[in-house]
A and B are shown apart, each in its own frame.
Chain A
């Protein structure tokens, strides 16, 4: 039982490049979330999903897209990376009891 895993752990991009962050959970959770963490600002919700095939916007969705084609996976895409997207990205999943389990994070730098 791996819990929540994130791929990759680190990435450096140039402005304008695209990439996809993968989140996987093996707990059969319905709900999944993508957050970004910036110094002094806590975690901010980017997008979330309440089930396979559904997604919704969070606090800071601009510049990101997501997909939940399979229940266990939640993908976060950056179509054209910008330096403002330099951050640590956390994925989380939770069940109906609303206890969120977090992945280890992905540190992204956009030059």
Chain B
């Protein structure tokens, strides 16, 4: 069965600090996709990144970076030099590779960035 665990329920940092959000997943599929989404206070879901199981390269996009490690079944997300606008709930998600891309979400991590 698929499962996504985000052990950090809430994180509070001061602006300009770096912060890492953890994501651990479980799946029996060899082909799968991992995602991160941001949900700001306004409520919409914003897509941040998609990574397939065959691509373990880390990715950097501006202040955001992602570390995918199949050996530990983790897909962690780091925000460098955090800003108040980063305050949101962040969801990690796992999608199987076939059969309609059924997606399972973690419970989310609420990030507070204080000025």
Q: Which residues of A contact B (CB under 8 A)?
A: 31, 33, 35, 40-45, 48-50, 56, 58-59, 88, 90, 94, 97-102, 104-105
Contact = CB atoms under 8 A, between A and B. Distances in A.
Interface residues of B, number: 23
Nearest to A59: B104
Given A31-B100, A40-B108, A50-B100, 19 more contacts: A35-B105, A42-B6, A42-B108, A43-B93, A43-B105, A44-B105, A45-B103, A48-B100, A49-B100, A56-B100, A58-B102, A59-B104, A90-B45, A94-B101, A98-B95, A98-B101, A100-B35, A100-B103, A105-B44
Contacts of B100: 31, 48-50, 56
Nearest to B44: A104
B22 to A, nearest CB: 14
B54 to A, nearest CB: 13
B62 interface: no
B33 to A, nearest CB: 5
Contacts of B103: 33, 45, 100
Contact of B43 (A42, A88, A98): A88
B107 interface: yes
Interface of B: 4, 6, 9, 33, 35, 43-45, 47, 50, 91, 93, 95, 99-108
8 contacts: A31-B100, A33-B103, A35-B105, A41-B107, A59-B104, A97-B50, A99-B50, A101-B47
A43 B102 contact: no
A18 B95 CA distance: 31
Contact of B107 (A42, A45, A94): A42
Nearest to B43: A105
Contacts of B95: 98
